[in-house]
Amino acid sequence: MGQIANDVILDIKDLTVIYKTDLETVRAVNNISLSIGRGKTLGLVGETGAGKTTTALSIMRLLPTTTGRILNGTIYFDGQNLLDFNDHSMQSTRGRLISMVFQDPMTSLNPVYTVADQIGETIKHHNTALSKGEVSAKVDETLSMVGILPSRKNEYPHQFSGGMKQRVVIAMALCCEPALLIADEPTTALDVTIQAQVLAMMRDLRNRLGTSMLMITHDLGIVAQTCDDVAVMYAGEIIESGSVEDIFTGERHHPYTIGLFNSIPNLETSVKRLKPIPGLMPDPTKLSNGCFFAPRCESCLDICRESSPPVTSGGFHRIKCHLCGYDGR
Amino acid sequence: MSLAGATSPLVETRELRKLFKLKGGALLHAVDGINLKIFPKQTLGVVGESGCGKSTLGRTILKLIEPTSGQIFFKGNDITALNTRQMRPMRRAMQIIFQDPYSSIDPRKSVIEVIAEYMFIHRLFRNRRGTFARAAELMDQVGLARRYANLYPHELDGGRRQRIGIARALSLQPSFIVCDEPVSALDVSIQAQILNLLMDLQDELGLAYMFVTHDLSVVKHISKEIMVMYLGQCVEKAVPEELFANPAHPYTKALLAAIPRPNIRLRNKEIPIIRGEVTSPINLKPGCRFAARCDYSMEICKTRDPDLVEISPGHFISCFKENLNRSNEGAASR
């Protein structure tokens, strides 16, 4: 994407992921490419079922083993292809170099272990040489970093509120100071005032530790406030990507991106009626040969139904559309 | 209020309270002295964070939960003391749409059966044919293709299921519907479809809504008047334009500031973040409920409940500090 390789922490090329069962094949991620600059935050935007979480799980190599399959592509992390790693080297990467915060803080903590046990487990696993006292000191340090009093470390998850639990989960993800943090809708389950606290804390930590981030969200507001670059996903494809300026203030957009912006009720302006995108996302088991957005697109052409549009780019900004793409590809 | 015009309110509550008794005799203050009026064909938006009592308020007004004290009026009649049997004919006029389209629909009934169920209970038609014909009409009205009639709810997505919930609520031709977070479980593009549908139905059928949500941008879009709740009490009430242009209560201000705006020009603006979390609603002491998190709290805030005061026509707030500031300004200008 026009950057020197050294500046790129994560580089995904042509990734295709399917979920295969006896009955059907779900084409969850279709040939996507994206990259995250070192110290940058990439926002991955899309609706339910667009393939955002599948992309994240592919990076973590945590796809369900019985059904999930990576058909092709490469995921280069810091110069190495994660897809070539064996289980053992993946285990030492996960949690130490790349870690992930899951959407629901209520279910991602173990209810029968104290918070200190759970954070300590990660630290111990990746730093076997540390003594008990050193691990405990590191737990205290991590907890105070996310704004939780270390005196509460021997409490169980149910004794914390939702926002506090999400802080614990973030603390767990950050305790080994990973180079890449994947945050999968980290604030969706939280109230707005608590969401503001957690987002401010994440922004602060990122600036202090220089962590690169993949921020998965469906909230364009969060993208505008926290991300440097944006990739918009639809039906397993990245249909538009670029810097936040390209997406939020640029002139040229994919029709789906425009539809997404028109769907959100805006606080600054008053409109009488919202302009939703008609219809629904296509069934990922029955994708067409043409553009996946064509059935819902207002400016659909004949060619859109027949062939998949190429990705065209103007600088860093890329669009996958027959009509709105950059000319002179 | 100018909004009222000459019409009388369709729904009114006076000092409505719901306290839940907990083990050991503790009291949880879910709804704590709410006065509201909802006029025909209008929407009252009720906003607040989880645990502020907004859903309990909606359910108490419909008497799905018995109020502890206070009064509820529907079309001018006091319905507070009515028992379940006496309530039944009233239910035709007051309905509810639930938040979760997955768990609020019987999974063993087909789409058309779910929609027809209430009509059977209330014996609206003499035979099944008439009922199902009406159910099919309702499907058209909410934008559900008739080919879905014999499918089961699990075969449909969230947006379509929410349309079933709406059709079911409309089946008894109510004049008042409590919408309890009807769009928060849906994706943005689907959310907009459902919001538009609810507004079209309001115009067409003259419905009054009480729209309960945590999302200020949704409530701005749909409401005639907005009430902001915090721990069972109304902290501020105004028409949307006024509330968003001149929020007066510190909690409303913080709530508005906390919403991430899809506008990159506001990116590095420092936003005031309120400290801490909602205090426990159990065995509350007198005093402003927000005082513990408020940057402006004074001695008096912790000893006495602030009253709801009208600071400009139709704009009410309950805050000692704001009222003090305003009366000082008033004195200075005089």
Q: Tell me, what's the pLDDT at B330?
A: 64
Element holding B226 (H helix, E strand): strand B225-230
Name every chain A residue with its beta carbon within 8 A of the beta carbon of B220. Answer: 265, 267, 270
Chain B, 208-227: which have a CB under 8 Å from a chain A CB? 214, 216-218, 220-221
- Kindly state whether residue B245 falls inside one of the protein's structural domains: yes
pLDDT of residue B5 exceeding 70: no
Distances (CA, A) of A259 to A254, A274, B16, B179: 9, 10, 42, 25
Q: In this structure, how many other beta carbons lie within 10 angstroms of the beta carbon of residue B157? A: 15
Q: Is B83 exposed, middle or buried (0-12, 13-18, 19+ CB in 10 A)?
A: exposed
Which residue in chain B is spatially nearest to A229 when comparing CA positions? B264
Query: Beta-strand (E) ranges in chain A?
Result: 8-20, 25-37, 41-45, 68-77, 80-81, 98-101, 180-184, 212-217, 229-234, 237-243, 311-314, 317-320
Q: How many C-beta atoms lie closer than 10 Å to residue A112's C-beta?
A: 7
Show the domain range for B42.
11-93+174-252
Contacts of A167 in chain B (CB under 8 A): none
Residue pLDDT, tens place only, B179-207: 999 988 888 888 899 999 999 999 999 99
* Residues of B with Cβ-Cβ distance to A200 under 8 angstroms: 271, 273
pLDDT value for B331 = 63
Per-residue model confidence (pLDDT) at position A269: 72
Asked if the structure places residue B222 within a domain, the reply is: yes
Sheet of A8-20, strands arranged across: A25-37, A8-20, A68-77, A80-81
The pLDDT value given to residue A68: 93
In contact, B252 and B205? CB cutoff 8 Å: no
Q: Which residue of A has its CA nearest to B266?
A: A225
Cβ neighbors of B316 (< 8 A, separation 6 or more) are B234, B236, B237, B238, B308, B309, B310
Whole-prediction pTM: 0.86
In a domain? residue B233: yes
Q: For chain A (length 329 residues), average pLDDT per consecutive 10? A: 68 95 91 94 92 94 93 94 95 93 85 95 92 94 89 91 88 92 88 86 87 93 93 96 94 93 80 83 90 93 92 92 77
Total structural domains within chain B: 1
pLDDT at A2: 42
Whether B75 is in a domain gets the answer yes
Q: What is the predicted pLDDT for the residue at B196?
A: 93
Copy the structure tokens of residue B308. Answer: 């709801």
- Nearest partner of B222 among B85, B104, B46, B50, judged by Cα: B46
What are the pLDDT digits (tens) for B87-107? Answer: 999 999 999 999 888 889 999
Q: Which tokens sit at B63?
A: 């008497």
Q: Quick check: is B3 in a domain?
A: no
B-chain residues near A271 (CB < 8 A) = 221
Q: For the segment B262-277, what is each residue's pLDDT rounded down to a tens digit? A: 888 877 777 777 777 7
CB contact under 8 A, B220 and A265: yes
Residue B281 forms part of a structural domain: no
In a domain, residue B105? The reply is no
B292 touches chain A (CB under 8 A): no
Tokens 């029968």 -> residue? A112
- Report which DSSP code applies to B8: P
Q: Is residue B262 part of a domain?
A: no
Contacts of residue A194 in chain B, CB cutoff 8 Å? 49, 277
ipTM value, please give it: 0.80
Three-class DSSP category at B263: coil
Instruction: Read off the pLDDT band of B332 (50, 70, 90).
Output: low
Q: What is the pLDDT of residue A328?
A: 46
What pLDDT, on a 0 to 100 scale, did the predictor assign at position B333? 58
Q: Please state whether beta strands A237-243 and A317-320 pair in parallel, antiparallel, or not at all (unpaired).
A: antiparallel
Q: Which amino acid is at B321?
A: K
Read off the CATH number of the domain in which B77 is found.
3.40.50.300
The pLDDT, as a whole number, for residue B281 is: 86
Measured in angstroms, the CA of B169 and the nearest CA of chain A are apart by 23
Mean pLDDT of the residues in chain B? 90
CB spacing of A191 vs B260 below 8 angstroms: no
